[in-house]
């Protein structure tokens, strides 16, 4: 067998919807290279764990977060992407409900924080490319799979869902048409709870019914938001 000494890493782009805007989870590196730079959580894969296990472990260790949604994003393998050795990184795309997790720095990181995607710092390695890729994936996926609900609290306001879509898709959405469309899918439950957001008429809480979604999906229903 050919001599080959390439290291295999995993990195995760974790999105969360906080304070009415889209955030990304970053860690501050406390080792070289790029010591004190912000970076995506991740690290080397151990010999006896799968790639998914590796990302979940690193996420837990470095940030104390467990993803509510996780899928593979893309693999980056440019020869010089890591200044030390050849390292290829298999990246993952993750969504979390920020309220559910207390972030906490630990292994290999001396700080962890949510950054609004509008106010990102410089990132280590080629992590800005990875992030770009992840933003595209999020934008696309939002239109044909109900992943928006993995970014919101279990109970949410319709206006939050709408804001989330407008933020991520970067366009205006007609409130009436949007509501009509989503409700027509029959995957939401309207709860008997109202919430007053300070001023204005109190709004109803809704909840995503995953079972119902899977049922409809089996029957050929296709989630699709323009």
Partner DNA sequence: ACAAAAGTGTTCGGGTTACACCCATGG
Partner DNA sequence: CCATGGGTGTAACCCGAACACTTTTGT
Which chain residues interact with a second copy by CB under 8 A? Answer: 1-2, 4-8, 44-51, 72, 74-75, 77-79, 84-86, 88, 90
- Could you tell which of DNA, a second copy, none binds residue 191, using a CB distance below 5 to 8 A set by kind? none
Closest approach of DNA to the CB of residue 180, in Å: 6
Closest approach of DNA to the CB of residue 21, in Å: 15
- Could you tell which of DNA, a second copy, none binds residue 199, using a CB distance below 5 to 8 A set by kind? DNA
- Could you tell which of DNA, a second copy, none binds residue 189, using a CB distance below 5 to 8 A set by kind? none
| Cβ-based nearer residue to a second copy, 75 or 177 | 75
Closest approach of a second copy to the CB of residue 42, in Å: 13
Closest approach of DNA to the CB of residue 206, in Å: 9
- Could you tell which of DNA, a second copy, none binds residue 166, using a CB distance below 5 to 8 A set by kind? none
Q: Which residues bind DNA (CB under 7 A)?
A: 157-159, 174-177, 179-181, 194, 196-204, 224, 226
| Cβ-based nearer residue to DNA, 198 or 220 | 198
Question: For residues 75 and 188, what is the distance between their CA atoms, to the nearest angstrom?
Answer: 35
- Could you tell which of a second copy, DNA, none binds residue 94, using a CB distance below 5 to 8 A set by kind? none
Closest approach of a second copy to the CB of residue 78, in Å: 6
SS (H, E, C) the chain: CCCCCCEEEEEEEEEEEECCEEEEEEEEECCCCCCCCEECCEEECCCCCCHHHHHHHHHHHHHCCCCCEEEEEEEECCCCCCCCCCEEEEEEEEEECHHHCCCCCCCCEEEEEEEECCCCCCECCCHHHHHHHHHHHHHHHHHHCCHHHHCCCCEEEHHHHHHHHHHHHCCCCCHHHHHHHHHHCCCEEEEEEEECCCCCCCEEEEEECHHHHHHHHHCCCCCCCC
């Amino acid at each position: 067998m050919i001599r080959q000494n390439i290291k295999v890493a995993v990195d995760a782009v974790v999105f969360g919807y906080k304070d009415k805007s889209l955030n990304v989870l970053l860690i501050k590196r406390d080792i070289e290279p790029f010591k004190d730079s912000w970076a995506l959580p991740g690290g080397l894969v151990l010999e006896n764990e799968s790639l998914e296990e590796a990302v979940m472990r690193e996420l837990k260790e470095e940030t104390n977060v467990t993803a509510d949604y996780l899928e593979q994003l893309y693999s980056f393998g440019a020869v010089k992407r890591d200044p030390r050795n050849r390292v290829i990184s298999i990246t993952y795309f993750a969504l979390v409900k920020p309220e559910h997790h207390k972030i906490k720095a630990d292994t290999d990181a001396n700080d962890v924080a949510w950054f609004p995607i509008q106010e990102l710092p410089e990132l280590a390695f080629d992590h800005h490319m990875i992030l770009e890729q992840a933003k595209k994936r999020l934008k696309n996926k939002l239109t044909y799979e109900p992943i928006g609900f993995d970014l919101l609290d279990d109970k949410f306001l319709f206006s939050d869902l709408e804001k989330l879509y407008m933020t991520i898709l970067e366009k205006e959405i007609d409130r009436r048409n949007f509501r009509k469309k989503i409700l027509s899918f029959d995957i939401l439950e309207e709860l008997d709870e109202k919430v007053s957001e300070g001023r204005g008429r109190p709004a109803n809480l809704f909840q995503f019914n995953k079972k119902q979604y899977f049922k409809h999906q089996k029957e050929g229903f296709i989630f699709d938001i323009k």
